Structure 1
Amino acid sequence: MLNSDASPGAAMPAEVQTRTAADDQAASWIARLGTRTISLDTIQEFSRWREVPANAEAYRRAEQLWSRTGELAGDPDIQAALVQAQRRRPRRIGVKQVGAIGLATAMAASLAVGAFLWQGRDTYATSIGEQRILQLADGSRVHLDTASKMRVRYTEGERRIELAEGQALFEVTHNPTRPFVVSTTDASVTAVGTVFEVRRVGLETRVILVSGAIDVAQAAAPGAPQRLQPNQQSAIRAGKAKVSAVNAQTATSWTDGELTFVDTPLAEAVAEVNRYLAAPIILDAPAAATTPINGVFRSGDRTAFVSAAAHLFNLRAIREPDGQVRLVSSRNNEQG
């Protein structure tokens, strides 16, 4: 908190005086990304906005202020702002009014309702085609992908996430005395401050390290955990783990609303695309199933993927009465 004894006529702190349009946009983005449903177009728009260095820095500051709302819960200024917000009587906070409250409190007041609502929940889920960006109470951030479900369980000694299904990218706030653990039925991943992805689909858990270091322990094989390095992945299935090299940037492109395929078997690519579709693609062309495909596609853009696959592999797209699209072998190409 800034000094609350500052008189109304005193010089304003530099941070308040130099507030930019990017700061206001960053606050707006935190509010937008904290809603229950986020479209893929919104994710892509946010990614483009944050590519500008000034915007990225403004968003970092906004995240820090957002994470402080829990610490400021007992502050009388915050409580007054919450009462005003809950009564739906918004009032404009000008530069002169900020004075005693300070920039941190003013930002927290504008976001406090959403922040406290998030902290009061422990289970998060997405439907098919939906993504959510969650700011946790400790400042860590989770990008929850389509058709995913997780539970947050924080204690004084541990920060634990239980990923029941789907996948998520975790950006963990550094705290060596309070480990951050992500668990599935197959494995648990322990990190201190790092960025990594965990995916639980079908009978397999896959862990990809983007930066930092993590320890991966198998639930069915007690023993020393496995330390992963950046651009490595561990695939755990039926009590066995396989570590291999991976391009983490490509593998996590879904966080920007894109699916990137590099020499990916067509059947595998179709399965990945289908995770974002309510009306999926049916691959009914055995000869083409193992043929690799390369390309970048927008998540949920069935038409573009079907068109590309039909053209590349000499397939025909048949639209079924229930809305699904079937890809079959043919000499004639037809867009789905």
Structure 2
Amino acid sequence: MSASQKKARAPEKEAAVWHARLGSTSVATATVEEFFAWHAIPENADAYRRVDKVWRESGAHAADPVLARAVAEARSRARRRPSPGARSRTFIGLGVAVAGAVCLAVGGIVWQQSRGVYETELGQSRVIALADGSQVTLDTGTRLQVRMEKGVRRIWLDRGQALFSVAHDPTRPFIVQAGDTSVVAVGTVFDVQRKGGEVDVTLVSGVVDVASVASPARKTRMAAGNQARVSTAGVTTRAVDTRAETGWVRGRLIFEDTPLAEAVGEINRYLPQKIVIGDPSLGAVPVNGLFRTGDRDAFVAAARDALDLQATALADGSVRLTRRAK
């Protein structure tokens, strides 16, 4: 093989390694960020698509033996060595994906979809690329339904939180329904979270209309950088730091004068063993900080030290926060 041919094969060998790493049981947040940076280079993205095609289609192995061998070798190495995610306390589980291209899910790759039901388990994140070019990122414990039709694009957010990057198409509105709340967009980026009887809509870019399903004509038009909270009392809006509000996409939770009860609620969404506030009067105390999703120990330590609290481990594995005895 000539030097130029070897050089041309380099991205494909790297793609084979990435395919193996992302197919492991868990993937560290840092690994995901590194992968996105690598995949942003067009030749790397093309190589990844070719590698994935080889992996999915057994007949392709004979057609391109060099590429097939690279994939097989990378898979073998990945099985022999521990995954970086296995050593990390904070990880994104099966389902980390290629932005705008594919979605890695349990059992393989989920390609562009026009309809279906998608879920994430506790501590997992997932990205799906829709048939219209839109991309949806699902947070932990999220379930949504997708239906792409000729004149409209519909999403039902049954639970959890998702970030929507909507492909521009003025002829087909993109509608997200979360309980009694509907969000209508054409081409924009926004986040929707269901929180009990409330729904938070955070607009990163573009314009969306927020309304009740029962009264679609009474809509609130949002501007970028704002968050709308929809409850039985109506719709309230406020300016927010959208990077902080969508930090979960990067495996981060950012709190700025956030009531302790709300911060604990966010951290708990990623935890099998929860944090419990033992004194109701602590719920309104503001907290600040940046934490990895799922890092209970770091959050408990910070809250204990900053607020002079007592942290007690309970028999069921949860941790209770109370005021320290004087």
Interval of TM-score (by shorter of Structure 1 and Structure 2): 0.7 to 0.9
Residue 54 of structure 2 is aligned to residue 82 of structure 1: no
1:326 partner SS:
strand
Q: Cα deviation per residue 1:168-212 (whole Å; 9 max; x = unaligned)?
A: 001112222222111112211122221110111200111000011
Q: Tell me, in whole angstroms, the C-alpha distance in 1 between the residues paired with 2:133 and 2:14.
A: 19
Are positions 1:45 and 2:31 aligned together? yes
Distance change (3 Å), C-alpha of 1:305 and 1:156: same
For residue 82 of structure 2, what is the aligned residue in structure 1?
none
Answering whether residue 45 of structure 2 is matched by residue 62 of structure 1, we say yes
Report which stretch shifted further, 171-180 or 23-32: 23-32
Q: CA deviation at 1:156?
A: 1.5
For residue 82 of structure 1, what is the amino acid of its counterpart? Answer: E
Secondary structure of 1:199's aligned partner: strand
Shift of 1:158: 1.4
Matching residue of 2:156: 162
Pairwise CA distance, 1:282: 0.4
Which of 314, 317, 325 in structure 1 is aligned with 2:319? Answer: 325
Q: Please name the residue that 1:171 is paired with.
A: 165
Residue 139 of structure 1, aligned match among 133, 137, 147? 133
CA distance in 2, matches of 1:44, 1:289: 32
**CA displacement at 1:286 relative to structure 2:** 3.0
- C-alpha distance in structure 1 between counterparts of 2:319 and 2:108, whole Å: 40
Q: CA deviation at 1:311?
A: 0.7
Tell which structure's C-alpha radius of gyration is larger: 1
Structure whose residues are more often strand by fraction? 2
Specify the alignment match of 2:189 in structure 1: 195
* Distance apart, 1:320 and its partner CA: 0.9
Within the candidate set 210, 221, 225, 2:204 is matched to 210
Shift of 1:118: 6.2
Q: TM-score, normalised by structure 1?
A: 0.73
> What is the aligned counterpart of 1:292 among 286, 290, 299?
286
Unmatched runs of 5 consecutive residues or more in structure 1: 1-15, 70-77, 95-107
Quote the Cα distance in structure 1 between the aligned partners of 2:161 and 2:298.
Answer: 24
1:92 alignment partner, one of 52, 55, 65 = 65
Tell me the TM-score normalised to structure 2 length.
0.75
SS at match of 1:122: strand
* Percent identity between the two aligned chains: 41
For residues 242 and 277 of structure 2, what CA distance do their matches in structure 1 show?
27
Residue 29 of structure 1: CA displacement? 5.7
Counterpart AA for 1:142: V
Which residue of 1 is the match for residue 241 of structure 2? 247
Q: CA deviation at 1:242?
A: 0.7
Q: Which moved more, 1:197-206 or 1:121-130?
A: 121-130
Structure 1 residue 47: Cα displacement: 2.0
Verify the 8 A CA contact 1:315 1:327 in the aligned structure 2: yes
Structure 2 portions without partners, runs of 5+: 68-100
Quote the Cα distance in structure 2 between the aligned partners of 1:229 and 1:184.
Answer: 20
Q: CA deviation at 1:115?
A: 5.2
Segment of structure 1 superposing worse, 320-329 or 286-295:
286-295
Secondary structure, counterpart of 1:328 in structure 2: strand
Q: Which residue of 1 aligns with 2:174?
A: 180
Q: 2:123 corresponds to which letter in structure 1? A: G
- What is the DSSP-based 3-state SS (H/G/I as helix, E as strand, rest coil) of the residue aligned with 1:307? helix
| AA at the equivalent of 1:215 | D
Q: Deviations over 1:72-126 (max 9, x none)?
A: xxxxxx89x83526xx8784356xxxxxxxxxxxxx9xx9x95566638611111
For residues 245 and 156 of structure 2, what CA distance do their matches in structure 1 show? 22
Q: What SS does the corresponding residue of 1:119 show, helix, strand or coil?
A: coil
2:227 counterpart residue number: 233
Deviation at 1:213, TM superposition (A): 1.4
Kept in 1: contact 2:114–2:147 (CA 8 A): no
Q: Which amino acid aligns with 2:139?
A: D
Compute the displacement of 1:62 (Å): 3.1
Cα drift, residue 313 of structure 1: 1.2
